[in-house]
Structure 1
């Protein structure tokens, strides 16, 4: 870098302590922090770096940053950034690799809640109704994980610890930790027939749009559940709603949607075989601490001009296509 200090704009949405931690670890850089793009817009003109959740980096903020060289996303998925049409000389890095614990626990929350009928229990509690039924175990059940990366590997290991059979679907990987078998996407429909839980974790790209379509949903057994923790467009939402209304399979746990926040008019809100969570999968009560080591490492590499050492660099136009 030149003698002039590096200036970084940090949007602190969901990461209120990260800017202070970064300033302490890298005192040689100048940090401008705010909770939204509008709060930091006045500092963009002199900044070379933007940081924040991918969805918080707005077109207006990018346009107001003429010296922009690097965007560090605080998310694994960077599809909102790819949609900005960024020049190819701008570096983009993600937070891939830190979300395994919280995403895995979210998957287990959905599996346990759906499989054991937790919403029914809560409703009974509100009605002071004492009702008992056999409790479905995860032991011996089959989890089919669509998309294989760090998150899927961590989830697969946890599924194994619960005595589950784990099958992965990927065109990019033929082996990974925790999986009993990995099959190509061409075998997704066949494999869905074996799923007690079909868990969607694939990146959102043009290639994965509606990867979970009507044919895949129709292949799910009557006792099977769909869990989407990836991105809304990976699942054909209209096809999903139609089949949930007809109860062709047991139900769905949904953390992501085509439109977020999920509109009040969505039929999903009214379905008693759906568990809705408001895109909480990547969040944790220690997210700043999980994220900070990665950010500090990348800032130090960037300041040193050693871009090859920066972790999770994204090649624009190719991100996630082979997940």
Structure 2
């Protein structure tokens, strides 16, 4: 029986094209004893009926829940297209013998460049200057001086896969670099010219605070009103991680009150945000629809890595970057001879 792979339908545009461009699907066509297609789910929870008969799923935004797995008579892999897996019930997957993988190599470069893009755009007040031209206010430009980054302090909230790459990209800019991450290697940080510190110190000293940590129960509202109040009035907050890491109401209040110079956000507590959300009306905020890093390079990198995970499991190999390696001990995976 062929190994059957399903991709969530949100990879497709309304007219049936792969909206991401090349995501490496040729590798599936070239693989032996493998079939693939798109499941019926493009948003919301993936239903049990949608996954029945599939051995692996490649998932973009729909949710894999405990109920989803009730239909998973053959499922052994959920390969996330990206590094966040808050749309996957990992504990339920582990109980059912379903391995969950992510694609850190595919996102490292594009998301880090996106973080730098937002940082520089905020520092130069690009959004406001763009509106000056579009609204005929050319001569108001003296009221919108930017902030130079050389010699300023960069604070990285999370110094993992993406945080380290942001450090590398920013090194030529001559910024002092701080990072708050309890799991970071002090020796590696020192070698890269990064000072590890606690979060409160980082927020008090950073001119640009960049959120790159994962969303977990411990990091939900990590930046609440109290922590945001520690930031300098001239500082900027950039978030390319997950929206709920920041208390969005508290952030809005700080921006309205002038306790922060500005923010650049690719992610929100609720996505998409309510059009009436007062954050969207602020002049000192740059916004992107959780897509600032969406490039051809990210598409191919993520897609190829997720597909490689599926083909590895199909061949009885342990894939790279499992989130729940303990699932490898489950009888379902052992029966497929996928074991460590």
TM range (shorter): 0.7 to 0.9
Q: Cα deviations across residues 86-120 of structure 1 (Å, max 9, x unaligned)?
A: 34321000112221222122222222222112122
- Secondary structure of the 1:286 match is helix
Q: Mean Cα displacement is larger for which, 97-106 or 124-133? A: 124-133
How far is the alpha carbon of 1:216 from its aligned partner? 1.9
Which of 29, 33, 36 matches 1:31?
36
Which of 47, 51, 56 matches 2:54?
47
Closer/same/farther in 2, CA of residues 125 and 282 from structure 1, 3 Å limit: closer
How far is the alpha carbon of 1:263 from its aligned partner? 0.6
Distance of 2:153 and 2:170 partners within structure 1: 9
Distance of 2:261 and 2:248 partners within structure 1: 16
How far is the alpha carbon of 1:41 from its aligned partner? 8.0
Closer/same/farther in 2, CA of residues 34 and 25 from structure 1, 3 Å limit: same
Q: Is the 8 A contact 1:193 1:219 kept in 2?
A: yes
For structure 1, the 5+ residue unaligned runs are 318-323
Q: Is the 8 A contact 1:22 1:292 kept in 2?
A: no
Closer/same/farther in 2, CA of residues 188 and 120 from structure 1, 3 Å limit: same
Aligned residues: 309
Q: Which residue pairs with 1:311 in the alignment?
A: 320
Q: Is the 8 A contact 2:24 2:300 kept in 1?
A: no
How far is the alpha carbon of 1:234 from its aligned partner? 0.7
Distance of 2:231 and 2:56 partners within structure 1: 45
- Secondary structure of the 2:36 match is strand
Distance of 2:242 and 2:50 partners within structure 1: 31
How far is the alpha carbon of 1:62 from its aligned partner? 4.0
How far is the alpha carbon of 1:240 from its aligned partner? 1.1
Which of 116, 130, 147 matches 1:122?
130
How far is the alpha carbon of 1:251 from its aligned partner? 1.2
Q: Cα deviations across residues 167-221 of structure 1 (Å, max 9, x unaligned)?
A: 111000134468423435xx21122111110001110000111111222211111
Closer/same/farther in 2, CA of residues 209 and 193 from structure 1, 3 Å limit: same
Which of 194, 212, 221 matches 1:181?
194
Distance of 2:69 and 2:294 partners within structure 1: 25
Q: Which residue pairs with 2:294 in the alignment?
A: 283
Q: Is the 8 A contact 1:194 1:220 kept in 2?
A: yes
How far is the alpha carbon of 1:247 from its aligned partner? 0.9
The TM-score with structure 1 as length reference comes to: 0.86
Q: CA RMSD in A?
A: 2.6
Closer/same/farther in 2, CA of residues 43 and 118 from structure 1, 3 Å limit: closer
Q: Which residue pairs with 2:98 in the alignment?
A: 90
Distance of 1:296 and 1:237 partners within structure 2: 35
Which of 274, 279, 289 matches 1:263?
274
Alignment map for 1:137-216 (pairs within 5 Å): 137-175=148-186, 176=188, 179-184=192-197, 187-216=198-227
Closer/same/farther in 2, CA of residues 19 and 27 from structure 1, 3 Å limit: farther
Q: Which residue pairs with 2:4 in the alignment?
A: 7
Distance of 1:42 and 1:315 partners within structure 2: 24
Distance of 2:273 and 2:50 partners within structure 1: 33
Q: Is the 8 A contact 1:166 1:179 kept in 2?
A: no
Distance of 1:40 and 1:206 partners within structure 2: 25
Closer/same/farther in 2, CA of residues 70 and 262 from structure 1, 3 Å limit: same
Q: Is the 8 A contact 1:256 1:278 kept in 2?
A: yes
The TM-score with structure 2 as length reference comes to: 0.82
